Homo-oligomer: A and B are copies of this chain.
């Protein structure tokens, strides 16, 4: 269990902790002498919190390592991604909203193009666009194998996810992507004897998929990678003594929150105001709220610098609604950086703002931004320290040793 040393120190009190995550918050200036997205944004409320609180910057995985969304979130939740290897299949499935319960097997699928001899000529089916791939994935849901419940869901372009549910399944199966062209997909084979049955079932699934896809010009084959089951991670309740809730719009973030035992709150709308309204409504029922804002990342990936600035400003404008609830601890940070300049996730350290009236030691910083955070009082630290810092500032940790 991560942070195992915290378990005997946990104090249960009435404090409330909010982790407000702006996905892909960190950025880069467009010009060397310029400002980042966050530095450009007019954020009087966050700046006020920065003045009274403490800044810092986090390393999500290791310096220089650009995180995917799953590992970045798990790291903030306390699971070092180099230690807790949550199977890709499980992350991918929870990411598109498919439940992966203990014993269920999830796997990532790719469409590929096969020649008449069954050899792969394109491992990504010509990077078939999502709008074409989606209805094809739907057809895969026709596949039926007695005794099993099978769900298949589109992810993006040529990628999809399959979840198989039934008795006695094992995820100890090899990837079927041969990682090269000119050869057929590998058969599904068992990595240990207990997985023989599952290998046969997934191979049946592959054969039925090939029949269904036979008429497709590009996506006429499939490969499977990253067989996984529910990682049965310890929950926020076990690790941190927190009854935790997730307020997020996108399935991926609901999924990863569910994996660590958070309740996923359903609400209508998808603006920051809508999310904060949901927060307000459920305020009495939880100790910890993870509130996820997606669009900072989306705008970053679009290369839309001013769009990302606007999203940050819209969160700042909505912030008084959250602040009116008087959380004991409010952390505002990202899971990783997504500089509009790069149109992608990046490895740059992530700005981190800790607000805890009374207990935070204010540093000399007066504005929330990357350069201020790099000079902040919390220094540069691994993202897995987010929750211990929050717990301490909420008075939820007793002394270690006499």
Taking beta carbons and an 8 Å cutoff, which residues of A are in contact with B? 3, 5-6, 9, 28-29, 32-33, 36, 52, 57, 61-72, 81-82, 88, 91-92, 95, 341-342, 344-349, 357-359, 361-364, 370-371, 374-381, 385, 388-393, 397-402
Whether the pair B36, A361 counts as a contact (CB closer than 8 A) is: yes
How far in angstroms is the closest Cβ of chain B from A383? Answer: 11
| Complex Cα–Cα for A82 and B391 (A) | 18
A337 CB to nearest B CB, Å: 9
Q: State the Cβ distance, A17 to closest chain B Cβ, in Å.
A: 12
Nearest-CB residue, chain B, relative to A337: B361
Docked-complex contact A401 and B91, CB < 8 angstroms: yes
Chain B residues within 8 Å of A63, by CB: 378, 381, 385, 388-389, 392
- In the complex the two chains form, is A400's CB within 8 Å of B68's CB? yes
Q: Using A66-B392, A88-B402, A380-B381 as known contacts, list a sample of 20 further A-B pairs with CB atoms less than 8 Å apart, ordered by residue number in A.
A: A3-B62, A5-B61, A5-B65, A28-B359, A62-B385, A64-B391, A65-B397, A66-B398, A71-B400, A72-B401, A91-B402, A95-B402, A345-B399, A346-B392, A347-B392, A349-B377, A363-B374, A364-B374, A374-B377, A375-B375
| A401 in contact with B67 given A82-B5, A380-B380, A380-B381 (CB within 8 Å) | yes
In the complex, chain B residues whose CB is within 8 Å of the CB of A9: 65
Q: Say whether B348 contacts A361, CB under 8 Å.
A: yes
- Which of A70, A349, A378, A401 has most B Cβ within 10 Å? A401
Could you tell me the distance in whole angstroms from the C-beta of A289 to the nearest C-beta in chain B? 19
Known pairs A349-B379, A374-B363; A52 contacts B66 (CB<8 A): no
| Complexed CA–CA distance, A357 and B28 (Å) | 12
Cα distance A102–B36 when bound, in Å?
51
Q: In the assembly, how many copies of this chain are there?
A: 2
Given A95-B402, A401-B70, the answer on whether A378 and B379 have CB atoms closer than 8 Å is no
For the complex of A and B, 9 pairs with smallest distance between CB atoms:
A379-B380, A68-B401, A64-B388, A64-B392, A71-B401, A63-B385, A374-B377, A64-B389, A347-B392
What's the nearest-Cβ distance from chain B to residue A350, in Å?
Answer: 11
> Contacts A88-B402, A398-B66 hold; do A379 and B385 have CB atoms under 8 A apart?
no
- Are B29's CB and A69's CB within 8 A? no
Is the pair B401, A64 in contact by a Cβ cutoff of 8 Å? no
Q: How far is the CA of A380 from the CA of B88 in the complex (A)?
A: 32
Q: Which residues does chain B contribute within 8 Å of A347, judged by CB atoms?
A: 392, 397
Q: From residue A223, how far is it (CB to closest CB) to chain B in Å?
A: 16
Nearest CB in chain B: distance from A331 CB, A: 12
A361 to B38 CA separation, bound complex (whole angstroms):
13
A346 to B390, CA, bound (A): 13
A-B contact pairs, 11 of them (CB 8 A): A5-B62, A5-B65, A36-B361, A62-B385, A63-B381, A64-B391, A64-B393, A67-B401, A72-B401, A95-B402, A341-B358
Bound CA span A378–B375, Å:
10
From B88, B359, B379, give the contact of A401 (CB < 8 A): B88
Residues of B within 8 A of A357 (CB): 32
The smallest beta-carbon distance between A225 and chain B, in angstroms, is: 11
Write out the residue numbers on chain B whose beta carbons fall within 8 Å of the beta carbon of A57.
379
